[in-house]
Amino acid sequence: MDGLQAERIESVKAGSFAALSLFLAYGIATLGNQLVLAKQFEVLASLQISTAANLLLSGAIAIISGFLFGITYRYIIREDRNSHLSEGAVLAFGLVRGLAQADVGLNFDNAFWSCGVLAVESIVLFAIARYTLDVAIDRGWLKPFRLS
């Protein structure tokens, strides 16, 4: 197997690790939003997902976002493990996802606090995916991108 093919396989592995971790974290966050936040705080009632189709679509978006984050993160951090690059990747992906949700949510009445929760949630989800990738690299399950 040539070097380019090996790098592609590692990128798919990185994407898969991140997609799985982001999806699981999303599931836990959604469950918390549905069962706790939306029921305890009336202003957060819009956090409840109304249909199974919406839930499936949101889960699929989480998987795709996680996969793309994992591939990108692997190329961003390379072998030098610069913490500013790592944190910047999490913040960039988290803000893009969170602000997109906020943009849509602001079209609805009384959704301000829900949008804030979703924006913070997005950053936390990508931070969890980053942590998963860092653990996978530290344990040798995944190789960082080589500059050679």
Q: What is the pLDDT of residues 43-67, one digit of tens each?
A: 555 556 666 777 788 889 999 999 9
Q: Which residues of 63-76 are buried (b: 16+ CB within 10 A; e: fewer)?
A: bebbbebbbbbbeb
Higher confidence at residue 103 or residue 72? Answer: 72
Q: What is the 3-state secondary structure (H, E, C) of the chain?
A: CCHHHHHHHHHHHHHHHHHHHHHHHHHHHHHHHHHHHHHHCHHHHHHCCCCHHHHHHHHHHHHHHHHHHHHHHHHHHCCCCCHHHHHHHHHHHHHHHHHHHHHHHCCCCCCHHHHHHHHHHHHHHHHHHHHHHHHHHHCCCCCCCCCC
Q: What is the pLDDT of residue 50?
A: 66
Residue 70 has pLDDT above 90, yes or no: yes
Residue 82 has pLDDT above 90, yes or no: no
By the 8 A CB rule, do 115 and 99 touch?
no
pLDDT band at 144 (very low <50, low <70, confident <90, very high): confident
Higher confidence at residue 36 or residue 30? Answer: 30
Summarize the confidence of residues 85-89 as an average pLDDT: 88
Residue 41 has pLDDT above 70, yes or no: no
User: CA-CA distance, 135 to 45, in Å (whole number)?
Assistant: 36
* pLDDT tens, residue by residue, 110-141: 666 667 777 888 999 999 999 999 999 999 99
Summarize the confidence of residues 79-91 as an average pLDDT: 83
Average pLDDT score over the chain: 83
Summarize the confidence of residues 90-113 as an average pLDDT: 78
